[in-house]
Amino acid sequence: MLGNFEYCNPTRLYFGKGALDNLQGELKKYGENILLVYGGGSIKKNGIYDKIIEILNAAGKNVFEVGGVMPNPTVEKLYEGCKAARDNKTDLILAVGGGSVCDYSKAVSVSAHCEADPWEKYYLKMEDVDNQIIPVGCVLTMVGTGSEMNGGAVITNHETKLKIGHVFGENVFPKFAVLNPEYTYTLPKYQMVAGIYDIMNHITEQYFSGTDDNTSDYLAEGLLKSLIHSSRIAVKDPENYEARSNIMWTATWALNTLIAKGKSTDWMVHMIGQAVGAYTDATHGMTLSAVSMAYYRYIMQYGMEKFRRFAINVWDVSPDGKTGEQIAAEGLDRMESYMKELGLAMHLRDIGVTEDMIDGIADATLSMSGGYKELSRDEIIQILRKSM
C-alpha cells in the first residue's frame, strides 16, 4: 500500500544531443564565480572541457577549477574542494563528469560554509544542513548513479575505511543537469557496464521490499525492462544513440526518489558494496555486482512472492508447471546470465578482495532494516564468503 509521503523534485534536466546549448541560459541565473569540478581529465581529451570553458568565458565568468576528483572521492579531497569554493567566493559549482564528480560537488556545496568538520557532521553524525548551500549544476559524461537529480553524496575515508552516503534534501539537488547521451560514448566498457549495473541495483534495492501492491514497483519493472533491453544493445554497439539515451534516462529515474515513494527500501547490496569499496577502492558498480547474486539468492526465501514476480515480469520466466520457488530461482539465474553477458565482476576476488579483509568489510557494513531480512554480522560474512 502506498504510504504517506511528500514528492517534489525541482531539478531541471536538459536532455539530448544539443543539451549543452542550455548551459548559457542557466549561467545567467548565478553570480560570476564558477568552480569547475571534474575527474581524471578525460573531458580534456574528448573536447567537452574546451566547449564548457568557451561557454563560461563567453558568459564572462571567473572560472576556478578542482580537477582530479577520484572515482571514490575522499574526505581529503572534500576538504580541498571546500577551501577552493570558499577562497573563490563560489556562486555555482559546475560538476562535469559522472556520479563521483556530482556526488563530490554536492558534498562541497553543503560543506564549504560548514563551521563543523563536514565529515563528522554530515557522514558520521548524519546531521541536517543548517548553513549556506552553494548551488550545483551538472554536465553528465558517465551514467549510473542518478546523482544528477538527487541529493546523494558518497564520500570515502580511507583512514577509517568507511565509505558513507548522505542523502541530502531537495535544496541540495542539482539545480540543473545537462544530459547528452553522446558524451557517454567514449567511456571504457568496464566503466560503462559498471554504471549499468549500478542502475539495475538502484532499482532492485527499491523493488525488493514490502508485500503490498504498489505502483512504484510497476514503474521499477518498466525501468528494468528498458535497461535490460538497451544495455544488451549498448555493450555491442556503444555508439547506438537510442540505447545509450534510454540507459541515461533510466539511470536518472532509477534514483531520483520516484520509485521509492510509498514503500520501504532495501539498500543492503549498496551497504556491503560500499564497505568493499572502502577496502579496495574498486569501481562502485563492480562492488555491487560481485555481491549481488549471493545476496539475492540468500534473501529470496524471505521475499519469495516478490522474487517470483520479478522472474515473470522482468525476466519473462514462464510460470507454467513450476513452483513459486522454482520460478523465483529461474529469474535469478537469468539475471546472473545477463550480468555475465555484460561482463560484470561476479566475484569479490576479481576486484581485489582478499580473505583477510572479510571481517573488516563486515564490520564496515551498515545493516539496514527495510528489506526482506535484516542481516546479522554472521549473515553478511556468509554472503561475502559466497561472493569470493
Find the shortest distance in angstroms from Cβ 245 to its own copies: 4
Q: What is the DSSP letter of 374?
A: P
Interface with its own copies (CB under 8 A): 1-19, 22, 181, 212-215, 218-223, 225-226, 229-230, 241-243, 245-246, 248-250, 253, 261-262
Dist CA 99 CA 23 (whole Å)? 19
- Judged by beta carbon, residue 4 or residue 159, the one nearer its own copies is 4
- Judged by beta carbon, residue 11 or residue 109, the one nearer its own copies is 11
Phi, psi of 137 (to 5 degrees): -125, 155
Phi, psi of 90 (to 5 degrees): -65, 130
Dist CA 216 CA 194 (whole Å)? 24
Find the shortest distance in angstroms from Cβ 72 to its own copies: 29
25 CB-contact burial (10 Å; exposed 0-12 / middle 13-18 / buried 19+): exposed
Grid cell of 262 as nine digits: 510509498
Q: Following DSSP, what letter does each residue of 181-215 receive, concatenated?
A: GGGGTTS-HHHHHHHHHHHHHHHHHHHSS-SS--H
- Give residue for cell 560500499: 274
Q: Tell me which residue of 346, 347, 383 sits closest to 365, measured CA to CA.
A: 383
Find the shortest distance in angstroms from Cβ 190 to its own copies: 24
- Judged by beta carbon, residue 104 or residue 315, the one nearer its own copies is 315
Dist CA 49 CA 45 (whole Å)? 8
Find the shortest distance in angstroms from Cβ 136 to its own copies: 16
Find the shortest distance in angstroms from Cβ 218 to its own copies: 4
- Judged by beta carbon, residue 34 or residue 149, the one nearer its own copies is 149
- Judged by beta carbon, residue 233 or residue 381, the one nearer its own copies is 233
- Judged by beta carbon, residue 74 or residue 214, the one nearer its own copies is 214
Find the shortest distance in angstroms from Cβ 225 to its own copies: 5
Q: Tell me which residue of 266, 258, 226 sits closest to 244, measured CA to CA.
A: 226
- Judged by beta carbon, residue 151 or residue 181, the one nearer its own copies is 181
Find the shortest distance in angstroms from Cβ 372 to its own copies: 19
